[in-house]
Amino acid sequence: MNTQDPVAAFRVEAGDLLDQIEQGLLDLGHRLEDRALIDEVFRGLHTLKGSGAMFGFDALAEFTHHCETAFDRVRKGLAPATQELVAVILSARDHMRALIEGDGAGLESAGAAILAQLQAAIDAAGGAEAAPVAAPASSGSAGPATAARGWRLFFRLPAEAMANGTNPLMLLDELRDLGACRITARTDTIPALADLVPTECHIGWDIELRGDISRDDIDDVFIFVMDDMELTVEPLEAEPSEDVGQALQSSDTMSDIPATVPEGPAVATSAKPGPATGPASAAKSGESVRVPAERLDELMDRVGELVIVQSRLSQLASGHGSAVGNELALRSISEEIERLAGELRDTMMVLRMVPVASLFSRFRRLVHDLARETGKTITLSTEGETTEVDKTMIERLADPMVHLIRNACDHGLETPEDRRAAGKPEAGQVHLSAHQAGGEVLITIRDDGRGIDRERVRAKAEAQGLIQPGQPISDHDLLQMIFHPGFSTAAQVTNLSGRGVGMDVVKRTIESLRGAIDITSAPGEGSTVVLRIPLTLAIIDGLLVRVGEGRYVIPLGAVEECLELSLEEDLRSRGRSFITLRDRLVPFLRLREIFETGTRPDPHQKIVVIATGSERVGLVVDQIIGSHQTVIKSMSPLHRDVATFAGATILGDGGVALILDVAQLVMLGQNQEERLRAAG
């Protein structure tokens, strides 16, 4: 987080506040009477208004002010909380998000519409005297401030003023700053020593103040104590002056100073007006990660150690020890650095991890809205929210998950009538869970709806020519059909889903994250989608191999086994590129041919068998060098379209190794298999 830009900090904070308001409102939707929740939402709105105005988000402050005023009636018990009110304030909250993200242009009408709904909701809720929205009281500029030649003042502070932090000497100093003063203390009310309370002020002061001083300036001096103190102010020369009563109101002179908060970056940044379309399109501007302090301390420790090792190294470089001793010392330093680099990497990766709770919580709103739109009763339950995933991963998982949850709610769950008829509870269940398994995180989206209709999938697949009519196909493969582009089984296209784009996009997105998607479904009992995604995008364990003169990295997670391609097998398989592996035919690709190395093949070639899901492909390489911690660098824009590579990495000797894209290679292998099958 940028520590010097309060506006950026405000955007992050406002995002959190909005989330908090949303969660509060959603909870409130279930427990309309809960005072604590009402207070929480109110406080969120209040803080948002106050901070928004501070940082130049005037439209936001204004809009939020109206919402706060309306909601304040609920808080004070003048109006009951209703579902309508909750829904309106939820949409108001979306509007606030749009106001924070955009420059507020073109949003006025949307805002006005929401305020009208809000008014309606409050009126309907029985708030008798309606009209919140009273414009802030006109600032009481105290009439024409008469300039006098001078003033005669007397003041005496309330008894507790000194204990409460008002120092009369400073008031006198301030008066002196205004002009020439003659000050006389009135000591007649000082009690006898026995009765004297040292923290109280018993002295009054007469002051003759000369100069061209406005009455407002004097009031400014006493602004904080004006209400309770004894104060008389008379002009020295008889000139018209306003009465004291009016002067007493001028306590808001402070607020009259126009707010001139610089608007620079606050308004200029994200050039994306228009309301946010939903919780999924969460703020992408100003990426920042919140990090617990102890993790930073840990990082600092490592860096400290690194500095020490570095100084040992410089000492060694400039020293004159014996060659043998130097070599030993160098080796120990090298080991030390290796350990530290590993620890630094691990600590660094942990810094980027955020719990999936931040992802899951977005979906509560989604499900709430979906339930309203479809007229179904849906309960969302979550599990394993503390599982941590890389920050980037969370952002990129949001869209596919929105789609999957929409599918579950829209296609999966039945209407309450159908559910009753099927003997199920009326409320449909959508369950999200996350847990870590090795270097992967499994995210499961489960519904207890009707399940996937196999007949319909088959009919559709046949109609689209994906399978031959009557062709036998395993249940698993049949279900995979829904990931084909342009495939949708919804008989009726609804507002929510069923446009036939989606599942293929979901699959592609997940695979671009080096993850995998799998679906299982039991008719009448529901469907389960499992997403398997790696913990991080930045570093992988890789298997370093050599093909010709080039070195390549295969993500270790995808590697099933390595075996030798014996000469006779090589000869036998020539032309068809299959090996028999435990009674299964596995197609293999000769990377030498794909990469056109043009060198002589190694006498002992190896096969690395890689897999995605249940599909396997062997890659023939010249040499297996070993496992390698791979820091992924993305390809240059020129090479981004090269399908077979997922990126590149830099090796210890400074050379570059390309990282193979496993999903693409498996597809290539499978296509080759199909081609050969078709041919033979």
Partner 1 sequence: MTASILTVDDSPSLRMAIRIALTGAGYDVTEAGDGVEGLAAAGAKRFDLIITDLNMPNMDGLTMIRELRKAPEQAGVPIIFLTTESDDAMKQQAKAAGATGWLVKPFVPEQLIKVSRKVLGR
Q: How far is the CB of 49 from partner 1 (least distance, A)?
A: 7
Structure tokens at 222: 């006493």
| 511 close to 474: Cβ distance less than 8 angstroms | no
Stretch that binds partner 1, among 45-53, 378-386, 462-470, 565-573 (CB under 8 A): 45-53
* Residue 529 beta carbon to partner 1: minimum distance, rounded to whole angstroms: 38
Q: What are phi and psi of 487, to 5 degrees?
A: -105, 120
Point out which residues pair with 578 in neighbouring strands.
Answer: 587
Task: Restricting to residues 611-650, name those near partner 1 by CB under 8 A.
Answer: none
Considering only residues 192, 193, 257, 463, which one is a binding residue for partner 1 as defined by CB under 8 A? 257
CA 347, 350, 351 angle in degrees (round to 5)?
A: 90
- Site membership for partner 1, residue 34 (CB under 8 A): no
Query: 636: which DSSP letter?
Result: P
- Contact between 287 and partner 1 by CB under 8 A: the answer reads no
Question: d(Cα 348, Cα 535) in Å, to the nearest integer?
Answer: 13
Note whether 553 and 659 are within 8 A (CB): yes
Stretch that binds partner 1, among 53-61, 104-112, 440-448, 515-523 (CB under 8 A): 53-61
The CA–CA distances, whole Å, from 430 to 377, 409, 454 equal: 11, 8, 21
> Which CB sits closer to partner 1, 237 or 294?
294
**By CB under 8 A, which span of 50-58, 399-407, 488-496, 550-558 interacts with partner 1?**
50-58
List the one residue out of 516, 386, 519 whose CA is nearest residue 446.
Answer: 519
- The SS3 call for residue 475 is helix
Collapsing DSSP to helix, strand or coil, 126 comes out as: coil
From the list 3, 109, 277, 636, which residue makes contact with partner 1 (rule: CB under 8 A)?
3
Binding residue (CB under 8 A) for partner 1 from 199, 332, 494, 671: 199
CB burial readout 469-493, b (16+ within 10 A) else e: eeeebeeeeebbbbbeeebbbeeee
Which one among 106, 124, 131, 173 touches partner 1, defined by CB under 8 A? 173
As a residue count, the chain comes to: 680
Does position 141 bind partner 1 by CB under 8 A? no
Is residue 217 a contact partner of residue 124, using CB atoms and an 8 Å limit? no
| Contact pattern from residue 551 through residue 580 relative to partner 1, giving x for each residue in contact according to CB under 8 A and a dash for the rest | ------------------------------
State the number of binding residues for partner 1 (CB under 8 A). Answer: 43
Stretch that binds partner 1, among 48-56, 206-214, 309-317, 422-430 (CB under 8 A): 48-56
Is residue 162 near partner 1 by the rule CB under 8 A?
A: yes
Contact residue for partner 1 among 128, 169, 293, 324 (CB under 8 A): 169
> Quick one: which segment of 221-229, 317-325, 380-388, 502-510 binds partner 1 (CB under 8 A)?
221-229
SS (H, E, C) 533-600: EECCCCEEEEEEEEECCEEEEEEHHHEEEEEECCHHHHHHHCCCCEEEECCEEEEEEEHHHHCCCCCC
Site for partner 1 in 650-669 (CB under 8 A): none
Comparison of 227 and 564: residue with beta carbon closer to partner 1: 227
**222 scored as a contact of partner 1 (CB under 8 A):** no
Which amino acid belongs to residue 303?
V
- CB burial class (10 A; 0-12, 13-18, 19+) of residue 518? middle
Name, in order, each residue with C-beta under 8 angstroms of 227's C-beta and a sequence gap of 6 or more: 248, 251
Q: Which stretch binds partner 1 (CB under 8 A): 105-113, 157-165, 437-445, 615-623?
A: 157-165
Interface residue with partner 1, options 54, 248, 329, 348 (CB under 8 A): 54
Longest distance between any two alpha carbons in the chain, whole Å: 121
Q: Which is nearer to partner 1, 51 or 361 (CB)?
A: 51
Phi first, then psi, for residue 575 (nearest 5°) are: 90, -25
Closest to partner 1 by CB, 167 vs 614, is: 167
> Which member of 13, 206, 385, 602 binds partner 1 (CB under 8 A)?
13
List the Cα angle 386/387/390 in 5-degree steps.
120
Is residue 477 near partner 1 by the rule CB under 8 A? no
Is residue 103 close enough to count as binding partner 1 by CB under 8 A? Answer: no
Distance in Å, CB of 96 to partner 1, minimum: 15
Q: What's the token pair of residue 409? A: 């709610």
Binding mask 391-410 for partner 1 (x = CB under 8 A): --------------------
Residue 242 Cβ vs partner 1, minimum distance, rounded to whole Å:
21
In this chain, which of 10, 360, 363, 483 binds partner 1, going by CB under 8 A?
A: 10
- Give counts: helices (H), strands (E), the chain: 21, 21
Taking the complex as a whole, the smallest distance from the CB of residue 166 to partner 1 amounts, in Å, to 6
Contact 356, 389 (CB under 8 A): yes
Could you tell me if 27 and 37 are in contact, meaning their C-beta atoms sit under 8 angstroms apart?
yes
Binding site for partner 1 (CB under 8 A): 3-4, 6-7, 9-10, 12-13, 43, 46-47, 49-51, 53-55, 61, 136-137, 160, 162-167, 169-170, 173-174, 199, 223-224, 227-228, 252, 254-255, 257, 259-261
